[in-house]
Structure 1
């Protein structure tokens, strides 16, 4: 496993992937390796340990999951000239070469080598956030050492290197690739041991896949037996099959599993996600197996679209329309342009493919071949708007379709329609100018059949159908666009259509970041715009002398303090700093900001340095470094009003993000720091902005533009959770701010009360979103707008919600991206980072409590049954929800649960809420309930539906320490 860093690394990373499910079940750590140039963190972070190629630019500190799980690949015995430390190695230390991998063999006995390796290789990686290392090429010394004495010196040198690493970094996790002869001396330092080619190998010199001789296999199995029985170490076996030969991979992985080892079977370049214990048994990754090893379900959908290069991903159909229903079903989304299609077999990585083509792809022939290859490999595809290519007889036959020609200008009418799937938000309206002539074949099911509306013609087409390979809904019967009204309507019911076309399982628990412990989340976040604006009415209770000017922040301070809800407050550095346009009042603005940040229910955020309005234009101008971005004196121009004008400043992402965070941190009271970057302007940021926020150690949010109202009652106005941009995830705000309800702040200024419509329509009959009271600082300038906020808050306080901060919601969304779902016989296994604590079951199903692990309870709600998870891992099987549960359980709570324990006669847990704690129990009528040792009685008016509600006394309004709840039942 030598390879140039990237290829080598991608290979091994993939190898450990499959070990996750099977090994985890037996108590061994789950490990993955990936050495490609783009690390798929969302897929890999469910593992206990992930090895990546550090030269890929991957940043473990930027990941929302535990950074300690990310290990760096390092080559101990060899070095390539591409490594940054290569030129620092004395030539006398290089004693041989490996032609197959174009690398140099290092003399392990060189006196300065152990310290050099730790200083120049390990320490820089540790500083980057890696907390473990995959030590490769531990046997390469044999290429240069040809006597027993020489080999002994090399082995002693390797032991010295390994011990030097653990001496400097005792907590580092080390995975050895082979190095069997070193085990007597270093086995106690190993986290796991890996080796390659037990059944199937890869010959790098000949670029061939080869069968492994029985004698070699017997020797490796003997080594593995020693590692497991004598040293108690996890052992990973890595084998190789051609990337298109999934049967070879699965059969080989099954053989390795039968030997009691952790399997990983991947391609020779380790550039594809391989097969391991989780999917070694079945013929397809989505197989709904009920026996055998745990079966990991693919939770990613690939969306293919063709959009101009200058278009930000946020405004593409894949984000605006496709992603939201897929997110609701529990699936993350990745995007590919029709001109850059992924070439590797996709069935191990994706649960399905959605294609949205508004025009022909750049290379229709290549797209056709790619599409047929994916279908031939068992992938299901949902095609929307058009097929994107000429549907000739041969292609149509492959797709169980028949072309119907001569329809141009012909009038059509609906003959038959699947009412459950079509006509969802508007009835189909055939357009003779925009019709695709195609008829579904005998193995397909028509969803919408159109026939000729003209006497004497017998045309008939199927504008939407479910087919053997997936399904399609052609324009204008997917989303009907109404550009004059700036609205759109779903014609097809997207949730049902995607489930049917992609053959998505009906019973998969869907991760759901809208809810925790049965309650819909409630959050508030404030964009910093307008802190410099004066309040236009007297602000009661202000700390400033009434004769002094009062600002928007003075008014909002009172609102935030009065309602006491968790609130994420941001400021724009350029507004409050002495370098900006408000330098004369900047000290006063900073005083207001400090006062707001000091409130116990306020979380700090940055709204950038200069508040870019149109990110693509601003970043584009900066990248071009064109002449119109500077004045004659060399100072920064105003970018045509695209951001706050700071004399001498030219846009710089690091200054805009990290710089503003550092400045605002200096306004913080003791113990606080900026937690969130609230994106500004149109929020159509490039990946580099999200990367900068990650590097600064904060979460990001904003964008998406969810604005469903009674005036525009369509799911097309509901945004997804966010968007993945080159591996960096932009978290969308759950809904829009007050500008959308006040005609861009032109009035009526009380218009924000209509956000209650949005909350209702994103909460029932399906709960798509949490509740987000989202507004700007300038809402504090008007009496009407402040009263609107108070009215909204007042309504929400009467509802059973769970208040959280924006940073907490962002963590749940990122955990959604990384969560893994597996089937283990009749049980479901859920593994995440611990931030997202809810999965949603179909209506009528519930977890069986007697056999469940990591489950506190459940509650039926809009769209399904919400299961309350207690941490990073859960295991449960489902039963009929009407079936009586014999155990007490948590029905709902308005705070986070920790230390949940089910005892012989009850349960106990800690409840930490940002407001006065409340919780409900079910099945606990004969139980005694106490909080912090004090007996509790059910609150008046509760107890409906066999639930009893409790409200533990709160020590003070500022006390957020958890209360400990004990439930004792029977004798």
Structure 2
């Protein structure tokens, strides 16, 4: 598929430059001359104890803390304290440390307290939730109070060795806006320690008082110069009966204060061209199921064809990435000519990107970490093939979660041949690339089964030049009423990284495909809550091919796509989102002279930065390079970077008004449905316009802010041929809204120029 990078290359081939960008002296300064400080630290080291939490994937920090930290622009790495204390010299970009212990992880608490002190002395901030790990040593031996207070003093607190275990007479003496984020303090409250505040620089967010006695005040949630601390039971609420977690503390406010992130440029994976990103991907499970939808059932139409007919062909403006399982297609495994033809027909559609859901569909990835054929022997019948448990009409259900998720009768769906990791990853990508039309390449691996790949599997994807995605099961709705149902951007697995999907598939809405087959229509609630009042996730429509089997599930899917079509979005292929997510982790920021100015390095495909609490802030284009545009939304400033500029410079300035697009001496993008690159000026004087490369799905709705109000002419070209010419009028504030009535799947060059009066002035 031709993607965003194609448009960039086309624009660069035309030699598009930026004559207006900034003064020549600043633009030509070498990077070494501009940099005078080290890079902005944005790494948070999470200390976990994998003796009490089985895996990082299920840890409190990963499932609850990492999403807010990602939103604040921070990348998280993990260290298991069962292996000792980490060497902080291994983390040159370290901004802070976060802990959330449930027990006593340290055999030598004094060594840990000394380690924390040395880290804080070098400017590393700490955020401590739950048990601090300094009251008892491993095995239950008490830590001397004087020693523990060396730790608490770093947070401006002193433990007076008191504890309120009967809280019926306790109530908040102070609870600011940081408290009560998803659940208020109500009912029977947990017991709490008696913390006195000893440092006036520390802000108290929750102070509990017993029996209206000020002498009993205990400061349970605080932030300050060293970081922050939230006492156990007052950080989050946990309902064991329903396995429901909700934040008491506002994690965005708490970590923002603890790690001082206000002026940190935040690489944003939710937004492109000023709009919320949309992407959709389909796992191939159920590919060969025969649909029950009338009248197609009588013709024995495959579910894959039914999805194409009802949910892909009618939505040419919404891209979708389709990932079959080779075992469902290849006739030497369990494929048929009909299942192969279904894939070829899908891949030929312009809006479809080919991808892979693996070769044999592993259900339990860890089973194959140290694989031997002997391990699979109990699952093989006499001829070494998998024993289907369904009728012929639904045989493909054995190749997906539809039949085995949560119980997994076998380690993978197809066992005819020994497991081969190279075949599973690179071989499957090559197979689907050969099925696709020339110019389309399968690069995305969508993890199957438990979506828990081991390190070598992730490395195999990277070595092919591909990207990976799946897992996370994002839900934020009435059944999952908390941001804790939303996963972070990804998961570190050894030295590799798994990228999570941004939405959950229909399995979680249909009780693992056993009932409520209409349930996927509720995806819109998660997408709405994950988009406002703060944008936490892109709009992701993720499902399986067996959604084409039943009328209820197919109708639910179409309703979701219809809702997405009616929303202001910037659609991209799923592999593009995966590369954007990778860019979140690699992006680096180098502070430059002049204040509030940064050079952006190693961002990959990520082309949006966000600045929070920025309603009175705008891009200073005279001190910036490689900036496409800006847009204020939800109190934040979203800055669009030019993909054609490898190391853009972003500078900020204060503005007087926040109720209109900020003025600028150059044209800039406010928002658009397409992706743009290589913005450049054309012409000189009053008639000067600009041109930009563009690519995307559906018609190109967009808004530009231009220096000259009045009428403008727009042309769209491809390969030197003019395909469309139109006009639009910029209002008195220079806001130019227009729609190019073409598909942008194949890259276009747009040229915009003001229309002048014959006398030389702009037309009125």
- Give TM class, smaller chain: 0.7 to 0.9
Q: Deviations over 1:824-850 (max 9, x none)?
A: 122222223451111112331110234
CA distance in 1, matches of 2:68, 2:206: 21
Q: 1:952 to 1:889 in 2, by over 3 A?
A: same
Gaps of at least 5 residues in structure 2 are: 1-25, 136-142, 388-406, 717-721
Q: Are the equivalent residues in 1 in contact too, given 2:291–2:306 (CA < 8 A)?
A: yes
Q: Deviations over 1:891-919 (max 9, x none)?
A: 11211212211455343212112322222
Choose from 580, 605, 610 the match for 2:355: 605
The structure whose RCO (Cα within 8 Å, separation 6+) is larger is 2
Matches within 5 A, 1:777-788: 777-788=545-556
Give TM-score, length-normalised by structure 1.
Answer: 0.65
Partner of 1:282: none
Q: Are the equivalent residues in 2 in contact too, given 1:665–1:673 (CA < 8 A)?
A: yes
How far is the alpha carbon of 1:702 from its aligned partner?
A: 0.7
How far is the alpha carbon of 1:327 from its aligned partner?
A: 0.9
Partner of 2:702: 919
How far is the alpha carbon of 1:420 from its aligned partner?
A: 1.8
Secondary structure of the residue aligned to 2:425 is helix
CA distance in 2, matches of 1:901, 1:749: 50
Partner of 1:865: 637
Partner of 2:675: 896
Matches within 5 A, 1:637-786: 641-786=409-554
Partner of 1:383: 128
Gaps of at least 5 residues in structure 1 are: 1-23, 31-259, 261-276, 279-292, 541-545
CA distance in 2, matches of 1:912, 1:619: 40
Q: Are the equivalent residues in 1 in contact too, given 2:690–2:752 (CA < 8 A)?
A: yes
Secondary structure of the residue aligned to 1:314 is helix
Q: 1:588 to 1:308 in 2, by over 3 A?
A: farther
Partner of 2:305: 554
Q: 1:661 to 1:877 in 2, by over 3 A?
A: closer
Secondary structure of the residue aligned to 2:86 is coil
Q: 2:292 aligned with 1:536, yes or no?
A: yes
Q: 1:586 to 1:306 in 2, by over 3 A?
A: same
Matches within 5 A, 1:420-569: 420-428=177-185, 435-443=192-200, 444-452=202-210, 459-504=216-261, 506-538=262-294, 548-558=299-309, 559-564=311-316, 565-569=318-322
Q: 1:944 to 1:615 in 2, by over 3 A?
A: farther
Q: 2:179 aligned with 1:411, yes or no?
A: no
CA distance in 2, matches of 1:458, 1:927: 70
Give TM-score, length-normalised by structure 2.
Answer: 0.81
Larger radius of gyration: 1
Q: Are the equivalent residues in 2 in contact too, given 1:915–1:960 (CA < 8 A)?
A: no
Partner of 2:12: none
Q: 1:345 to 1:851 in 2, by over 3 A?
A: closer
CA distance in 1, matches of 2:329, 2:433: 13
Q: 1:518 to 1:699 in 2, by over 3 A?
A: same
Secondary structure of the residue aligned to 1:951 is strand
How far is the alpha carbon of 1:349 from its aligned partner?
A: 2.0
Secondary structure of the residue aligned to 2:361 is coil
* Bigger mean CA offset, 863-872 vs 880-889: 880-889
Partner of 1:283: none
Q: Deviations over 1:546-599 (max 9, x none)?
A: 86421101111112111012110011122233454xx3x623212211211121
Q: Are the equivalent residues in 1 in contact too, given 2:173–2:217 (CA < 8 A)?
A: no
Partner of 2:323: 570
CA distance in 2, matches of 1:873, 1:927: 34
Partner of 1:806: 574
* Bigger mean CA offset, 510-519 vs 390-399: 390-399
CA distance in 2, matches of 1:603, 1:943: 39
Q: Deviations over 1:426-459 (max 9, x none)?
A: 1135867653443332343322122335x99964
Secondary structure of the residue aligned to 1:325 is helix
How far is the alpha carbon of 1:530 from its aligned partner?
A: 0.5
CA distance in 2, matches of 1:345, 1:395: 25
CA distance in 2, matches of 1:689, 1:868: 34
Matches within 5 A, 1:109-124: none
CA distance in 2, matches of 1:518, 1:645: 42
CA distance in 1, matches of 2:676, 2:408: 50
CA distance in 2, matches of 1:529, 1:405: 58
CA distance in 1, matches of 2:186, 2:362: 41
Q: 2:88 aligned with 1:326, yes or no?
A: no
Q: 1:671 to 1:371 in 2, by over 3 A?
A: same
Choose from 825, 828, 835 the match for 2:605: 835
CA distance in 1, matches of 2:712, 2:439: 38
Secondary structure of the residue aligned to 2:560 is helix
CA distance in 1, matches of 2:494, 2:179: 34
CA distance in 2, matches of 1:408, 1:651: 58
Partner of 1:350: 94
Q: Are the equivalent residues in 2 in contact too, given 1:382–1:470 (CA < 8 A)?
A: yes
CA distance in 1, matches of 2:271, 2:292: 38
How far is the alpha carbon of 1:633 from its aligned partner?
A: 6.4
Partner of 1:297: 40
Partner of 1:966: 752
Q: Are the equivalent residues in 2 in contact too, given 1:346–1:374 (CA < 8 A)?
A: no
CA distance in 1, matches of 2:386, 2:218: 57
CA distance in 2, matches of 1:438, 1:625: 59
CA distance in 1, matches of 2:105, 2:372: 28
How far is the alpha carbon of 1:493 from its aligned partner?
A: 0.8
How far is the alpha carbon of 1:467 from its aligned partner?
A: 4.0
